[in-house]
Amino acid sequence: MAATLRGSASLGLKKLRIGMIPADGVGREVLPAAQRILEALGSRIPKPEFTHLDAGFEYFTRHGEALPQETVAAMQNDVDCALFGAVGSPTRKVTGYSSPIVALRKKLNLYANVRPVHSINGIDPRHVDMIIVRENTECLYIKQETLTTTEENGKEARATRLITERASKQIGRMAFRIALARARPEQPAGLTIVHKSNVLSTTDGLFRESVRAVMQENPDWSDASKIVVGEQIVDSMVYRMFREPEAFDVVVAPNLYGDILSDAAAALVGSLGLVPSINAGDTFVMGEPVHGTAPDIAGLGIVNPVAAIRSAALMLDHLGYTEPAKQIEEAVVDVLKEGVRTKDLGGSATTEEVVAAIEKRL
């Protein structure tokens, strides 16, 4: 599969236990689509066994918690991997609510969010083939905010941003491993470190220095014939990414920058409905389509299932089931090239029609 993470070896299981967390909105439509494609693989992977798990804003409105302990316990003990659909996060403050996907990343130490973004001939004419590797547990997403009132300024809102050497080196190692896997004898891989250390010299400075420091841990990582390391200030990164996306290969960034860059990069390849991701740690992986809950089309049967299907493939690839993952990707590309596309890609196909076409290809 183009632009994937090579992760842990095959688990060698008779059954592959997969936790399914549809959560909110179109998550309840795209995860069943991904399940059907995994089932269509037949004996090419261990027999998949799916376990429904609860989480999300809608679950919170009914039960007063967004991430029940039963879901966390199942993820820790009862399943081998997982797929997450989409979660609603209100823009206003809701007392007691916090995002379950953010919480799961922290509780399971899924420190890397890996998002391949690559173009498909016939959908977008540009050549895009990059992987954005986003630190997944720190930055402003630690959710430490305060609101006070002063005589001088009225209300003052403050947010704590956390960058640690440990997490920055951890994500740096992941990025270097991915870059090395993409290197070719005739073409070294490129690794771009994104930061804003010209302004945030302490926090972004630590991230930049920590990622660079891991180069010395492996002679292949510091070998310029295999990996060429560069840097981009985050605002110029956005500009260059849209002007010349072919210039980027593997991009590593702190949590907030990586979130923004990866969503923006989806515009380069046609739709958020195409872009997959995995949340990966050292012992667990969870696939997650990049798109959100899409409440305007939820329940209409027209959501694009491709990002969720590709996330399932990416999850398999990370587990070591490389060939079945490649077959899913090839089936998806063939179906899209044939013109079986949902509305977001300029087509008229329903979710069911896209899933059925991919199933038939497999």
DSSP string across 168-187:
HHHHHHHHHHHHHHH-BTTB
Query: Hey, what's the torsion of the CAs at 30, 36, 40, 45, to 10 degrees?
Result: 80
Give the mean pLDDT of 227-231. Answer: 97
Q: What is the pLDDT of residue 127?
A: 85
Residues 53 and 6 in one domain: yes
Examine the pLDDT at 350 and tell me if it is beyond 60.
yes
Residues 42 and 80 in one domain: yes
Examine the pLDDT at 7 and tell me if it is beyond 70.
no
The packing angle between helices 322-337 and 306-319, to 10°, is: 160
Domain stops at, among 251, 268, 285: 268
Tokens 């991915």 belong to residue: 178
Give the mean pLDDT of 243-271. Answer: 93
Any domain includes 139:
yes
Give the mean pLDDT of 259-263. Answer: 93
Any domain includes 50:
yes
Spatial distance between the Cα atoms of 251 and 191, rounded to a whole number of angstroms: 6
How many domains is the chain partitioned into structurally? 2
Handedness of CA 199, 205, 207, 211 (dihedral sign): positive
Average of per-residue pLDDT values in the chain: 93
* Percent of the chain predicted with pLDDT > 90: 85
Tokens 């210039």 belong to residue: 247
Q: What is the pLDDT of residue 91?
A: 77
**150-160 confidence digits (pLDDT tens):** 999 999 999 99
Residues 83 and 164 in one domain: no
Residues 250 and 304 in one domain: no
How many Cβ atoms from other residues are within 10 Å of residue 219's Cβ? 9
Q: What is the pLDDT of residue 205?
A: 97
Following DSSP, what letter does each residue of 88-140 receive, concatenated?
Answer: ---SS--TT---HHHHHHHHTT--EEEEEEE--TTT-SS--EEEEEEE-S-BG
**19-33 confidence digits (pLDDT tens):** 999 999 999 999 999
Domain residue limits at 290? 1-111+277-362
Residues 255 and 289 in one domain: no
Any domain includes 16:
yes
Any domain includes 236:
yes
Tokens 């967004």 belong to residue: 66
pTM for the whole thing? 0.90
Examine the pLDDT at 1 and tell me if it is beyond 70.
no
**50-92 confidence digits (pLDDT tens):** 999 999 999 999 999 999 999 999 999 999 999 999 998 887 8
Q: What is the pLDDT of residue 121?
A: 73
Handedness of CA 59, 61, 63, 66 (dihedral sign): positive
How many Cβ atoms from other residues are within 10 Å of residue 280's Cβ? 28
| pLDDT band (50, 70, 90) for residue 342 | very high
Give the mean pLDDT of 282-288. Answer: 95
Spatial distance between the Cα atoms of 348 and 340, rounded to a whole number of angstroms: 8
Whole-number Cα distances in Å, 338 to 40, 112, 168, 311, 355:
20, 34, 42, 21, 14
Q: What is the pLDDT of residue 12?
A: 66
Give the mean pLDDT of 285-302. Answer: 94
CATH of the domain at 209: 3.40.718.10
Residues 341 and 231 in one domain: no
**124 vs 205 pLDDT, higher one:** 205
Spatial distance between the Cα atoms of 134 and 250, rounded to a whole number of angstroms: 11
Give the mean pLDDT of 110-137. Answer: 89
Any domain includes 116:
no
Give the mean pLDDT of 283-300. Answer: 94
Domain stops at, among 268, 295, 330: 268
Residues 11 and 67 in one domain: yes
Domain stops at, among 222, 251, 268: 268
Give the mean pLDDT of 330-337. Answer: 95
Residues 133 and 259 in one domain: yes
Give the mean pLDDT of 286-312. Answer: 95
Q: What is the pLDDT of residue 2?
A: 37
Residues 143 and 72 in one domain: no
Specify burial of residue 283 (Cβ count, 10 A radius: 0-12, 13-18, 19+). exposed
* Percent of the chain predicted with pLDDT > 70: 96
Closest CA to 84 of 21, 132, 29: 21
Any domain includes 151:
yes
Q: CB under 8 Å to 232, separation ≥6 — which residues?
A: 192, 193, 194, 240
Residues 256 and 285 in one domain: no
Give the mean pLDDT of 35-45. Answer: 96
| pLDDT band (50, 70, 90) for residue 346 | very high
**160-173 confidence digits (pLDDT tens):** 999 999 999 999 99
Residues 255 and 290 in one domain: no
Any domain includes 86:
yes
Residues 75 and 13 in one domain: yes
Examine the pLDDT at 236 and tell me if it is beyond 80.
yes
* Contact indicator for 66, 102 with CB cutoff of 8 Å: no
Any domain includes 241:
yes
